[in-house]
């Protein structure tokens, strides 16, 4: 039973840890499907996390915090759009710039506003998104096997966790069942086809970037208002890049993206769980190695275990009308 | 009284200092096929892009069906019943036919209704015009002929009454082109108006009712097709008399200069593109390789010139074998007297960002003539480039100009000058006149024949059957990676067309 509980605990933290990855990965999916590479997921998450925690602590409301996180993150997405769509700049450069601005400005503003070394004040329970306990969760806790699965794994997460997982089928539906999705996929493959069909390439790409901004905003809010009780500098810690790796791993498909992020989340959970625990046969493994595991796996997976991942064909290329 | 579907009145359009269209007047009669011919850069495509709302004219008026029209975007054009089939298809390659057809013409925010509607509409169009195509097929899995059909269907689905086709036959086999023409005639019978932009005069003669000729941004003439001739149109296009078929004497073929033996080449996906082919090219002859694009010609050229590794095979250059499966590098082949004019001058033949003089020695830059010690001898290079410019009539005659600023024909001349002036024993040329104007074609053909007459072995690969027939002393036809037949220059187009389509495969193998 101990073993079972341990597994449940690892899976539970797998879910918690995959959520920011999943939100960022879906965010990247919108922009990359529309033909805009977005290496700035990391930065947008970070500003989202900061704006969310700052607003929540000032206005004492988790929802105002979330709204602010989304607003600021979308604003950064639009800056990326302005540079790479309107001015046809290099998308990688623009993304990297956003990451730098995010890393610097969050610490600077945090220090200026709250004087806590770049942190935001610790959030009170009402300023955070609490766990939602599903009906009957406590009652069935004692039931073997199914009880813990229901009460630990399914119930007891914050609203943002459910939002993240519902975003998966929603994104699939948008992508493959709506006019917007069809056009968005088309503009990532062949913007000239979209242009000649009488649709604005720029407006379409901006809208995709707004979707990206909304999702990275939620991802940031999750980091600072659910996982943590406030903003800490550089708290995204490379999750934006892992999300990009997951996106490639998932071949730009929403359901695959969920499984890819769950896998990365699982590795993360496992590495935390196994820290300091001697493994059978191997013995005690250095913490650093366990922490590096998700990244090592990323390299191995991307190096060829997933088959050929074909990105959207117009990805990274600013659209210029041919003469 | 014939009614005008479209009238263009006094259209002007400039791009920077370039006046692409000058005071163009044109009237297109409803229910006819109207051809527009002109050399590259004559302004045909610009004019049609203005009509389709891709660009706005600087001045002038467009009337559609007698009414003044303001066409500010393709949307406006579509609403006025104007559809366009672009030279480079505007299709999303990994979408289905249906998805491509509805893109931009969806009936509401969800796709379900649009797809159902498009499916039944496509069935109707198929019945009416014989435009069969599987609505659920993925575009990239369809042959180009069918992809083009999807483009036509897209336009018709949007209710096009006027259909503009920009160089529609460039990518088609003769049989596919014939089929296209049948479709166009049928569309005409149903009352549609068709505008055909092309530089192939034979097509104009075959299918149009009226033809307009453009030269350097102006409309120089409009003729009834049955009252004009190919020669007259060519002259109008170029502004002087041109020879459409170069005159040449009998070949005096000597010994074998280039022998390709058992060449097999696979592409990056591991598909066999060239399947165990062998052939010779003798001194003083031009061997032409005909075939529909994609039947292994490109891979064969790349292997012979050392750009791509072969799975098996070798070439004999002047009797000395060179293995193509190992470290055959282009430099070594070049040193042994094999010069190569690649098919794709933009990506392989030239560095477009370089000045003309730099491109004119590329690949021969370690020749002592162009060096002073370890450094490039800039003066020698520029003098040499100026010589070539004069000799090959490259325009503009400025060796310091960026190569990207030359027209396609002149870029091709730069590559040809570079390779021919090295006095190679063997010259292999891929698509010698792709995207090259009528006037320059004549010049390039004459040069190739001059090479032959100097006793060089010349191998020409082209998808233009006319070109192959006019240049070659012997014609080899490639189909599905094999040489399926050899014919003399007197072979008819029909005969070669069948071979190219793989029809006479069995007989040809004998």
- Tell me, rounded to whole angstroms, the distance of Cα A131 from its chain centroid: 19
With cut-offs at 50, 70 and 90, classify the pLDDT of residue B251.
Answer: confident
Q: Please tell me which of A268-277, B415-424, B489-498 the model is most confident about, judged by mean pLDDT.
A: B415-424
Pair B278, B160 in one domain? no
Give the CATH number for residue B88.
3.40.50.300
Pair B79, B50 in one domain? yes
Res. B510: pLDDT tops 60: no
Q: A176 phi and psi, to 5 degrees?
A: -110, -5
For B46-96, the DSSP string reads HHHHHHTTSS--SEEEEEETTEEE---SHHHHHHTTEEEE-SS----TTSB
Res. B310: pLDDT tops 70: yes
Of A23-27, A82-86, B478-482, which gets the smallest average pLDDT? B478-482
Is residue A60 a part of any domain in this protein?
A: yes
Q: Which has the higher per-residue pLDDT, B463 or A322?
A: B463
Pair B219, B324 in one domain? no
Q: Is the peptide bond before B396 cis (omega within 30 degrees of 0)?
A: yes
Q: Over range B139-153, report the average pLDDT.
A: 90
Is residue A186 a part of any domain in this protein?
A: yes
Considering only the beta carbons, identify the residue of A178, A193, A321 that sits closest to B103.
Answer: A193
The residue with tokens 């830059």 is B365
Which residues from B are below 8 Å from A194, CB to CB? 103-104
Res. B503: pLDDT tops 80: no
| A205 Cβ contact partners less than 8 Å away, ≥ 6 residues apart | A34, A35, A36, A81, A85, A187, A319
| A108 Cβ contact partners less than 8 Å away, ≥ 6 residues apart | A118
Strands across the sheet containing B33-38: B82-85, B162-166, B193-198, B33-38, B210-215, B218-224
Which residues from B are below 8 Å from A203, CB to CB? none
With cut-offs at 50, 70 and 90, classify the pLDDT of residue A77.
Answer: very high
b/e map of B248-267 (b: 16 or more CB within 10 Å)? beebebeeebbbbbebbbbe
Pair B211, B336 in one domain? no
Interface test with B, best of A177, A178, A179, A320 (most B CBs within 10 A): A179
Interface test with A, best of B104, B268, B407 (most A CBs within 10 A): B104
Q: What is the total count of domains within chain A? A: 1
Pair B479, B380 in one domain? yes
Tell me how far apart the alpha carbons of residues B24 and B218 are, in angstroms, rounded to a whole number: 6
Q: What is the pLDDT of residues B360-387, one digit of tens each?
A: 999 888 889 999 989 999 999 999 999 9
Is residue A79 a part of any domain in this protein?
A: yes
Is residue B249 a part of any domain in this protein?
A: no
Domain of residue B361 covers 256-509
Is residue B226 a part of any domain in this protein?
A: yes
Average pLDDT along chain A:
90
Which residues from B are below 8 Å from A252, CB to CB? none
User: Residue B12 has what pLDDT?
Assistant: 94
Could you tell me where the DSSP H helices lie in chain A? 2-33, 41-59, 62-81, 91-114, 146-148, 159-177, 179-189, 191-196, 201-222, 239-249, 254-274, 287-300
Q: Do A189 and B92 touch (CB under 8 A)?
A: yes
- Report CA-CA distances (Å) from A121 to A109, A224, A271: 13, 11, 29
Pair B264, B168 in one domain? no
Considering only the beta carbons, identify the residue of A193, A199, A323 that sits closest to B15.
Answer: A323
Is residue A239 a part of any domain in this protein?
A: yes
Q: Please tell me the distance in Å from B75's CA to the nearest CA on chain A.
A: 4
Of B228-242, B282-296, B407-421, which gets the smallest average pLDDT? B228-242
Q: Over range B18-41, report the average pLDDT.
A: 90
Pair B368, B420 in one domain? yes
Tell me how far apart the alpha carbons of residues A256 and A167 are, in angstroms, rounded to a whole number: 13
Q: Over range A224-232, report the average pLDDT.
A: 93
Tell me how far apart the alpha carbons of residues A170 and A163 are, in angstroms, rounded to a whole number: 10
Q: What is the total count of domains within chain B? A: 2
DSSP B283: T
Of A131-140, A199-208, A213-222, which gets the smallest average pLDDT? A131-140
Is residue B274 a part of any domain in this protein?
A: yes
- Alpha carbons within 13 angstroms on the beta-carbon side of residue A195 total 20
Interface test with A, best of B20, B99, B103, B404 (most A CBs within 10 A): B103
Question: Percentage of chain A surpassing pLDDT 90?
Answer: 65
Q: Over range A80-104, report the average pLDDT.
A: 95
Neighbours of B59 (CB within 10 A): 11
Considering only the beta carbons, identify the residue of B92, B106, B108 that sits closest to A193.
Answer: B92
Q: Do A197 and B109 touch (CB under 8 A)?
A: no
Of A43-47, A139-143, B116-120, B241-245, which gets the smallest average pLDDT? B241-245
Q: What is the pLDDT of residues B84-121, one digit of tens each?
A: 998 888 999 999 999 999 999 998 899 999 999 999 99
Which chain B residue shows the shortest CA-CA distance from A314? B92
Pair B228, B270 in one domain? no
CB B29 within 8 A of CB B5: yes
Tell me how far apart the alpha carbons of residues B136 and B119 are, in angstroms, rounded to a whole number: 9
Burial-class residue B70 by CB neighbours within 10 Å (0-12, 13-18, 19+).
exposed
Strands across the sheet containing B18-29: B18-29, B4-15, B59-64, B67-69
User: Residue B378 has what pLDDT?
Assistant: 93
Q: Over range B261-271, report the average pLDDT.
A: 87
Pair B145, B194 in one domain? yes
Interface test with B, best of A178, A195, A198 (most B CBs within 10 A): A198
Q: Do B114 and A185 touch (CB under 8 A)?
A: no
User: Residue B25 has what pLDDT?
Assistant: 94
| B346 Cβ contact partners less than 8 Å away, ≥ 6 residues apart | B352, B411
Q: Over range B282-311, report the average pLDDT.
A: 90
Is residue A165 a part of any domain in this protein?
A: yes
User: Residue B79 has what pLDDT?
Assistant: 93
Q: Which has the higher per-residue pLDDT, A179 or B40?
A: A179
| A17 Cβ contact partners less than 8 Å away, ≥ 6 residues apart | A265, A268, A269
Considering only the beta carbons, identify the residue of B78, B86, B108 that sits closest to A198.
Answer: B78
State the distance between the two ends of chain B, measured CA to CA, in whole angstroms: 59
Q: Do A198 and B74 touch (CB under 8 A)?
A: yes
Res. A192: pLDDT tops 60: yes
With cut-offs at 50, 70 and 90, classify the pLDDT of residue A168.
Answer: very high
**Residues forming a β-bridge with B460:** B288, B429
Is residue A314 a part of any domain in this protein?
A: no
Domain of residue A52 covers 2-128+154-305
Tell me how far apart the alpha carbons of residues A290 and A268 are, in angstroms, rounded to a whole number: 8
Which residues from A are below 8 Å from B72, CB to CB? none
Q: Over range B309-334, report the average pLDDT.
A: 85
User: Residue A137 has what pLDDT?
Assistant: 83
Q: Do A196 and B90 touch (CB under 8 A)?
A: yes
Choose the final residue of a domain: B177, B209, B238: B238
Which residues from B are below 8 Å from A190, CB to CB? 90-93
Tell me how far apart the alpha carbons of residues A215 and A51 are, in angstroms, rounded to a whole number: 14
Nearest by Cα to B443 from B433, B453, B435, B434 = B433
Pair B189, B317 in one domain? no
User: Residue A322 has what pLDDT?
Assistant: 60
For A103-165, the DSSP string reads HHHHHHHHHHHH-STTPPPPPPGGGS--EEPPTTTTGGGGSTTHHHIIIIIISSEEHHHHHHH
Res. B348: pLDDT tops 60: yes
Is residue A224 a part of any domain in this protein?
A: yes
Q: What is the pLDDT of residues B421-454, one digit of tens each?
A: 988 999 999 999 887 777 788 889 999 999 999 9
The residue with tokens 């040499």 is B384
Which residues from B are below 8 Å from A321, CB to CB? 54
Choose the final residue of a domain: B238, B271, B303: B238
Considering only the beta carbons, identify the residue of A178, A186, A194 that sits closest to B110.
Answer: A178
- Tell me, rounded to whole angstroms, the distance of Cα B422 from its chain centroid: 27
Pair B264, B220 in one domain? no
With cut-offs at 50, 70 and 90, classify the pLDDT of residue B327.
Answer: low
Question: Is the dihedral angle over the CA atoms B2, B6, B11, B15 positive or is it negative?
Answer: negative
Nearest by Cα to B54 from B159, B166, B153, B156 = B166
For B416-439, the DSSP string reads HHHHHTT--SEEEEESTTTT--HH
Which chain B residue shows the shortest CA-CA distance from A176? B111
Which chain B residue shows the shortest CA-CA distance from A312? B94
User: Residue B137 has what pLDDT?
Assistant: 93
Size of interface A-B (CB pairs under 8 A): 70
Res. B253: pLDDT tops 90: no
Is residue B416 a part of any domain in this protein?
A: yes
Which residues from A are below 8 Å from B75, CB to CB? 198
User: Residue B508 has what pLDDT?
Assistant: 42
Res. B243: pLDDT tops 60: yes
Give the CATH number for residue A122.
1.10.3470.10
Which residues from A are below 8 Å from B50, CB to CB? none
A39 and chain B: CB distance < 8 Å anywhere?
A: no
What is the longest distance spanned by two Cα atoms in chain B? 77
User: Residue A306 has what pLDDT?
Assistant: 67
Q: Over range A51-78, report the average pLDDT.
A: 96
Tell me how far apart the alpha carbons of residues B510 and B503 are, in angstroms, rounded to a whole number: 14
Which residues from B are below 8 Å from A197, CB to CB? 74, 90, 103-105, 154
Taking any CB pair shorter than 8 Å as contact, residues of chain B touching chain A are 15, 52-54, 73-75, 77-78, 84, 86, 88, 90-95, 99-100, 102-106, 108-112, 114, 154
User: Residue B174 has what pLDDT?
Assistant: 74
User: Residue B5 has what pLDDT?
Assistant: 92
Q: What's the angle, vertex CA A212, arms to CA A206 and CA A214, rounded to 5?
A: 105
Which chain B residue shows the shortest CA-CA distance from A179? B109
User: Residue A153 has what pLDDT?
Assistant: 86
Tell me how far apart the alpha carbons of residues B413 and B422 are, in angstroms, rounded to a whole number: 14
Interface test with B, best of A177, A190, A308, A315 (most B CBs within 10 A): A190
Is residue B243 a part of any domain in this protein?
A: no
Q: At what angle do helices A179-189 and A201-222 cross, to 10 degrees?
A: 100
Res. A302: pLDDT tops 90: no
The residue with tokens 């022998």 is B259
CB A160 within 8 A of CB A226: yes
Res. B171: pLDDT tops 90: no
Res. B2: pLDDT tops 70: no
Considering only the beta carbons, identify the residue of B15, B86, B95 that sits closest to A186.
Answer: B95
Q: Over range B201-225, report the average pLDDT.
A: 91
pTM of the model: 0.80
Neighbours of A283 (CB within 10 A): 7
């Amino acid at each position: 039973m101990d073993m079972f509980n341990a597994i449940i605990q690892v899976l539970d933290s797998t879910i918690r840890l995959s959520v920011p990855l999943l939100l960022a990965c879906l965010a990247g999916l919108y922009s990359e499907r529309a033909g805009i590479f977005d290496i700035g997921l990391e930065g947008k998450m970070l500003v989202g996390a900061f704006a969310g925690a700052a607003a929540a602590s000032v206005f004492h409301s988790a929802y105002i915090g979330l709204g602010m996180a989304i607003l600021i993150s979308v604003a950064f997405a639009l800056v990326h759009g302005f540079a790479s769509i309107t001015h046809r700049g290099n998308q990688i450069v623009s993304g990297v710039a956003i990451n730098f601005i995010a890393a610097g400005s969050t610490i600077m503003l945090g220090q200026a506003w709250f004087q806590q070394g770049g942190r935001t004040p610790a959030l009170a329970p009402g300023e955070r998104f609490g766990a939602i306990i599903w009906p009957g969760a406590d009652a069935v806790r004692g039931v073997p096997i199914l009880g813990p699965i229901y009460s630990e794994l399914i119930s007891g997460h914050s609203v943002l966790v459910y939002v993240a997982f519902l975003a998966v089928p929603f994104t699939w539906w948008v992508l493959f069942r709506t006019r917007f999705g069809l056009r968005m996929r088309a503009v990532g493959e062949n913007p000239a086809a979209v242009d000649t069909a009488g649709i604005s390439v720029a407006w379409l790409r901006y809208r995709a970037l707004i979707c990206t901004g909304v999702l990275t905003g939620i991802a940031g809010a999750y980091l600072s208002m659910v996982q943590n009780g406030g903003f800490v500098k550089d708290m995204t810690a490379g999750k934006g890049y892992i999300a990009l790796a997951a996106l490639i791993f998932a071949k730009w498909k929403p359901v695959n993206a969920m499984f890819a992020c769950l896998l990365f989340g699982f590795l993360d959970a496992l590495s935390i769980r196994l820290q300091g625990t001697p493994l059978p046969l191997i013995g005690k493994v250095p913490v650093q190695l366990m922490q590096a595991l998700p990244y090592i796996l990323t390299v191995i997976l991307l190096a060829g275990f997933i088959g050929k991942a074909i990105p959207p064909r117009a990805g990274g290329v600013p659209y210029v009308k041919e003469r | 009284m014939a009614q005008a579907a479209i009238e263009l009145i006094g259209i002007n359009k400039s791009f920077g200092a370039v006046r692409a269209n000058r005071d163009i007047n044109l009237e297109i009669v409803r229910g006819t096929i109207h051809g527009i011919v002109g050399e590259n850069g004559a302004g045909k495509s610009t004019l049609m892009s203005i009509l389709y709302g891709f660009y706005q004219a600087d001045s002038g008026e467009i009337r559609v069906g007698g009414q003044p029209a303001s066409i500010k975007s393709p949307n406006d054009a579509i609403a006025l019943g104007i559809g366009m089939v672009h030279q480079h298809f505007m299709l999303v390659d990994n979408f289905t036919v249906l998805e491509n057809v509805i893109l931009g013409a969806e009936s509401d925010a969800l796709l379900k209704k649009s797809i159902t509607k498009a499916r039944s509409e496509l069935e109707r169009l198929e019945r009416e015009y014989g435009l069969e195509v599987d609505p659920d097929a993925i575009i990239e899995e369809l042959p180009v002929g069918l992809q083009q059909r999807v483009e036509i269907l897209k336009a018709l689905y949007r209710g096009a009454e006027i259909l503009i086709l920009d160089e529609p036959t460039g990518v088609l086999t003769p049989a596919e082109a014939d089929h296209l023409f049948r479709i166009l005639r049928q569309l005409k019978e149903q009352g549609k108006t068709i505008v055909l932009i092309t530089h192939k005069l034979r097509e104009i003669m075959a299918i149009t009712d009226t033809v307009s000729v453009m030269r350097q941004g102006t409309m120089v003439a409009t003729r009834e097709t049955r009252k004009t001739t190919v020669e007259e149109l060519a002259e109008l296009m170029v502004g002087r008399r041109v020879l459409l078929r170069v005159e040449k004497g009998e070949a005096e073929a000597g010994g074998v200069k280039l022998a390709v033996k058992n060449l097999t080449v696979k592409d990056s996906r591991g598909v066999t593109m060239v399947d165990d082919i062998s052939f010779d090219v003798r001194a003083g002859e031009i061997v032409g390789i005909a075939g529909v694009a994609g039947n292994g010609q490109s891979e064969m050229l790349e292997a012979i010139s050392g750009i791509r590794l072969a799975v098996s095979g070798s070439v004999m250059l002047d009797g000395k074998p060179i293995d193509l499966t190992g470290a055959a590098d282009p430099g070594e082949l070049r040193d042994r007297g094999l010069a190569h004019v690649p098919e794709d001058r933009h990506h392989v033949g030239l560095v477009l960002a370089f000045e003309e003089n730099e491109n004119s020695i590329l690949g021969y830059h370690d020749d002592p003539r162009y060096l002073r010690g370890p450094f490039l001898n800039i003066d020698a290079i520029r003098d040499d480039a100026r010589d070539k410019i004069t000799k090959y009539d490259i325009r503009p005659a400025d060796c310091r100009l960026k190569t990207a600023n030359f027209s396609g024909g002149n870029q091709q001349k730069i590559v040809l000058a570079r390779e021919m002036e090295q006095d190679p024993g063997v010259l292999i040329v891929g698509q010698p006149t792709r995207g090259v104007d009528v006037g320059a074609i004549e010049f390039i053909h004459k040069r190739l024949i001059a090479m032959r007459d100097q006793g060089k072995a010349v191998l020409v690969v082209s998808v233009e059957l006319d070109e192959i027939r006019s240049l070659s002393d012997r014609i080899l036809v490639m189909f599905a990676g094999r040489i399926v037949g050899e014919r003399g220059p007197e072979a008819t187009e029909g005969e070669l067309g069948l071979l190219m389509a793989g029809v006479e495969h069995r007989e040809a193998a004998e």
